[in-house]
Amino acid sequence: MARAILVALISIVWSASAFADAGWPYYGGDEGGLRYSTASQITPENVDDLIPIWTYSTGDLKLRDPKTMRRTSMQVTPILVGDKLLACSSFNEVYALDPGTGKEIWRFDPKIPTEKIFPANKFNCRGVASWHDAVAAEGAVCRDRVLAATNDARVLALDLATGKPCADFGADGEVKLDKGMELKWPGEFQITSAPVVVGDVVIVGSSIGDNARVVAPHGTVRAFDVRTGAAKWSWDPVPRDAADPAAASWGEGYKNVGHANVWAPMSSDAKRGLVFLPTSSPSPDFFGGLRPGDNKHANSVVALKAETGELAWAFQTVHHDVWDYDLPAQPTLATIDVDGVKRDVVVQPTKQGFVFVLDRDTGVPVFPVEERPVPQGGVAGEVLSPTQPYPSHIPALAPQKLSVDDAYGFTPWDEGACREAIASARNEGLYTPPSEKGTIMFPMTGGGINWGGITIDPVKQVLYANTTRGPHLITLFPSEKFDELDAKYPEKEVSKQEGAPWGMIREILFSPLGLPCNRPPWGVLAAVDLKTGKISWESTLGTTEELAPLNITMATGTPTLGGSVVTAGGVVFIGATMDKYLRAFDAASGAELWQGRLPATGFATPMTYEWKGRQFVVIAAGGHGQLGTEPGDSLVAFALAGPNDPKPTWWSRKIDRPGGRMWINFGLIFVGTLVVVGGLWWLIKRLWRARR
């Protein structure tokens, strides 16, 4: 009898979980950032029937002037908490929407300053977090909270029900971060990624302008009591105490260098009480002579005890970084089979295209990592690391060497120019040090893999990652020449690296026709079997539709910003490209199945959820000021057409797909040519008859 009751209970629980709506309560889907959804309504067989269901506009295009909008990058991924879809605008306005209709429920504006403010990483907000007070009385104000952080370095706590500030958090619902020093310009220091909440602690990193100076703001990670806003702890990746064993890896640099900040999203493991940080490079990015040594714990995956900030472990992915190869992506927590045993791991992707797999409790590599010799011979005063860590289980997901034979161009002329540019630069492969001659960095500092991170299907144990494939040319110069070179190259990034003997010029290696000097594809989506370490498939990601005249559409791939999501239905959704589409790929084969037209480029990671029995896929479409795409201010939700919805049309299937606008333009040119030729022919005939 007891056994029968137990079986019945298990059956009920299983049924409830099997048919419960799939949610998205965290920036990365779950606290570990898998970006996986159990939603299965949308499949490879029916994905072509998706239609836009609702679009929400933040209103910024109408309310803000064009110059301000060109300083934005809309990278938000909403979260679903209870009956509200929560997101933030590029200007940190937090809003709650009805998940089924996109109708605004409430909105809070922290009124960040925008006049004459030039944020180093644009006006940007990648997401928000939530927290439930288990001990507060039901119905109490701010029992459920929305936590957000701002471009002007504030942490906000809002009531989930109303959007009003929680008065008991800090000063009237906000805590202002102490930046530690005077900023060189407004916008040098900001917060762009979503806070992380573990237990009763809210944790934030920071985003700091690169290459400005040696003595720069510290990359301190800060934690606050989620109820009161009181400071709980702070942790600086650069050890400031000479007694700290890690200080020996900095020479005298530990005393004053800045950065090594955590600008990318963090992840957490509440059961273990850990928060996982992807730290960045120390200041400045391209010269390390004033910080000799490996520079622990910069460029590292770091696990801290969330309650106290105590270091649990750290693993460094780049020693003594002089390439801006910081960790740009959320550490992803997964459980995988290793030699027949389930292992809890941290999977960390990098700009170089590497994927490190680490034990979650110790940080020890689960698969072998080799220390390999790397090119030497830096500029005067530089002290390079003789080796760098290379993971060996999973191959690099982006090429790491650009040869003269890889030069690309549409014509022999521009290909020849690229061949010459490659041949004239210092170019010995990955980790070639920056030089006065000019050094090719491939992949460039934008990736490889960037802040969009990776996606993991925990059932199939397959990893999905989008990569950018393009070269940078990094040229160092004596710092006293800064004013001269800054005036000479107004269109280039010329940085003084104040306090260092060397300044820096960073530029993408383009052909005279404006194409990357490496062969396509320039954007790729790949799938990797985590158990075998083998790449299962690669698909080109993106077209030239928005980049070429007349919307000429070539499947070359484009640089990518943003990540993907994979579903139990077997579909990978991703925006991230420089054309205006959300795409769907078959998770098993990599076949591109569908494209949904967006009002602007979708440089954001999509999310998906089920609401009242219907699966939605939502993505932000806001463009990116730094990449020159048109700004936008929209969230767009797609779902399968219901009985009362219009079905996909010929226009949506043919014209609102890559290449559709190209053929319209070609058609208009053809018709226009016929009209002109016909008109000329009629005029000539008329003149001929008049002469007769």
Which residues are identified as catalytic?
Answer: 324
Question: DSSP strand E in 587-633: where?
Answer: 592-597, 607-611, 614-621
CB 449 within 8 A of CB 397: yes
CB 148 within 8 Å of CB 158? yes
Name 540's bridge partners: 524
Task: Enter the tokens of residue 314.
Answer: 């750290």
Distance CA 57, CA 552 (A): 29
d(CA 394, CA 456): 14
Place of tokens 């590029």: 90
Tell me which residue of 666, 641, 668 sits closest to 652, measured CA to CA: 641
Angle formed at CA 469 by CA 457 and CA 351, multiple of 5 degrees? 60
What would the 3-class secondary structure string for 125-164 be? Answer: CCCCEEEECCCCCCCCCCCEEEEEECCCCEEEEEECCCCC
Residue 655 Cα distances to 213, 268, 529, 658, angstroms? 49, 43, 36, 8
Q: Is the dihedral angle over the CA atoms 155, 161, 163, 165 positive or is it negative? A: negative
From the centroid of its chain, how far is CA 258?
23
Q: Which residues pair with 537 in a beta bridge?
A: 527
- 21 Cβ contact partners less than 8 Å away, ≥ 6 residues apart: 609, 610, 611, 612, 613
Residue 554: HSE in the Cβ half-sphere, 13 Å Cα cutoff: 12
Cβ contact 538:525 at 8 Å: yes
CB 277 within 8 A of CB 305: no
Nearest to 433 by CA among 368, 501, 386, 390: 386
- Read off φ and ψ for residue 25, nearest 5 degrees: -85, -10
Largest CA distance in the chain: 112
Nearest to 261 by CA among 338, 192, 160: 192
Q: Which helix (H) or strand (E) holds 586?
A: strand 581-586
Residues 489, 430 contacting (CB under 8 angstroms): no
Residues forming a β-bridge with 333: 346
**169 neighbors 157 (Cβ within 8 angstroms):** yes
* Number of helices followed by number of strands (H, E) in the chain: 7, 40
CA neighbor of 442 nearest in space, from 510, 371, 351: 351
Nearest Cα neighbor of 56 from 514, 665, 599 is 599
344, 308 contact by CB (below 8 A): no
Length of the chain: 692
Question: For residues 129 and 195, is the Cβ–Cβ distance under 8 A?
Answer: yes
Under 8 Å CB-to-CB from 534, ≥6 apart: which residues?
A: 528
How crowded is the C-beta side of 168, counted as CA atoms within 13 Å?
A: 10
Burial 375-389 (b: 16+ CB within 10 A, else e): beebbeebebbeebb
Closest Cα partner for 238 from 171, 288, 198?
A: 288
